[in-house]
Amino acid sequence: MTLTGDLEKIHSKYQSILAVTEPYLLTYPGNLDHMNLKPFGHEIPRENIISCIDSTRKDFFNALQMLDKLSFGPVGMPMEKWVFFDCGEMVGAIYGLAVRGDKLDAAILKQYSLPADYTDLVPVSMYIAIPMAKPGAWFGHNLCSANSFLAEHYNFSGLAVLTKALGVKTMNIHEAFGATQWESGSLNIHLQLANMEVHSSYTPAHSFEKTMTYRSHYTDEKLLTALSGTPRVAEEFDFLVDVSDPEFYKNMQKKIEAKEEDYTIVGRPVYQDGKTFLPLKKGHI
Ligand SMILES: CC(C)(COP(=O)(O)OP(=O)(O)OC[C@H]1O[C@@H](n2cnc3c(N)ncnc32)[C@H](O)[C@@H]1OP(=O)(O)O)[C@@H](O)C(=O)NCCC(=O)NCCS
């Protein structure tokens, strides 16, 4: 597939991924009028727009669940299919990249528990977002990529960043909330796209209390810059937090709840002496 317009300028590693994958979109058909089916000119083929109430794509739905399970691994929060359906596909959408079954090694089909003669799409990444009650606001529910278990067969470096940037554009998301763990490697992806305003730093309502709730603002310019190949490193910050510190997130939450201070993470993690630090500024920026 030849890339045109904005995507001609993205880094070659993302262009290489787009050359061997196909985009897909899974949602309730009634949501489609609110989606951009040609994000940055990269059209989602008609047959790859999948309805969550279509009974003929059962194997694809199973493969998506397997992608979630394999990528999150044993420490993850594996999702039941009803969670995909109730909390993703019907109310929001799943955008991702896929490779056709007949172009994949038999070993990979086996990993996904797909039949050897499966020729439909095999999803290698997914971004799930859900609209919130607040008009215009979305919640990023899931992002995952097959890189961790497909690396032997494919070099898909940059798959998650590319998937999130195209997914955000497909769903026309500008104000995005999310919940992620302070020590998650996925911060490299979220922060490659934009700053993250911290709305809660200690979240006992979540299964993992060392979770932050954040808000980011996305624009076309930010999404395309994220794909330029240059890491979004903070040039200025007020302080660095060591994400392994067992106390900082509770102290930060106290200041947020007392309305004494707000915080924004303003650049990708910094790795030093075996530790991970995040650059923060005071205020919402
Ligand atoms: C986290 C995850 C989405 C990353 O997917 P991926 O396709 O390997 O990520 P990308 O290749 O797009 O990585 C983008 C950048 O982040 C870095 N990165 C990715 N995962 C990282 C990790 N765990 N630790 C440190 N850096 C990481 C990459 O090196 C890359 O850096 P670069 O821009 O300097 O080249 C994937 O490992 C995954 O699905 N994990 C399980 C699910 C999960 O944790 N999801 C996020 C929570 S919602």
pTM: 0.97
How confident is the model over 240-269, as pLDDT tens digits?
A: 999 999 999 999 999 999 999 999 999 999
Residue 146 CA, closest ligand 1 atom number: 39
Retrieve residue 137's tokens. 């606001």
Q: What is the pLDDT confidence band of residue 1, given thresholds at 50, 70 and 90?
A: low
Distance 193 CA to ligand 1 centre (A): 13
How confident is the model over 55-94, as pLDDT tens digits?
A: 999 999 999 999 999 998 766 778 999 999 999 999 999 9
Retrieve residue 2's tokens. 């030849």
Is the CB–ligand 1 distance for residue 161 below 6 Å?
Answer: yes
Mutation to probe ligand 1, out of 17, 127, 189, 272 (largest number of atoms < 8 A from CB): 189
Q: What is the pLDDT confidence band of residue 222, given thresholds at 50, 70 and 90?
A: very high
Distance 213 CA to ligand 1 centre (A): 19
Distance 257 CA to ligand 1 centre (A): 31
- Provide the mean pLDDT of the chain: 95
DSSP code per residue over the chain: ----GGGGGS-HHHHHHHHH-EEEEEE-GGGGGGS-SSGGG----GGGEEETT-GGGHHHHHHHHHHHHHHH-TTS-PPPHHHHIIIIITTSEEEEEEEEGGGS-HHHHHHTT--TT--SEEESEEEEEEE-SSTTEEEEEEEEETHHHHTTT---TTHHHHHHHHHHHHTT-SEEEEEEETT-TTHHHHHHH--EEEEES--TTSSSSSEEEEEEE--HHHHHHHTSS-----S--SEEEETT-SSHHHHHHHHHHTTS--EEE-S--EEETTEEEEEEEES--
How confident is the model over 100-122, as pLDDT tens digits?
A: 999 999 999 999 999 999 999 99
Task: Tell me what pLDDT residue 77 has.
Answer: 74
pLDDT over 90 for what percent of the chain? 92
C-alpha torsion sign, points 104, 108, 109, 112: negative
Distance 30 CA to ligand 1 centre (A): 32
Residue 186 CA, closest ligand 1 atom number: 1
Distance 81 CA to ligand 1 centre (A): 24
Query: Does residue 105 come out as left (phi exceeding 0), alpha (psi in the -120 to 50 range) or beta?
Result: beta
Give, using CA atoms, the residue closest to atom 23 of ligand 1.
185
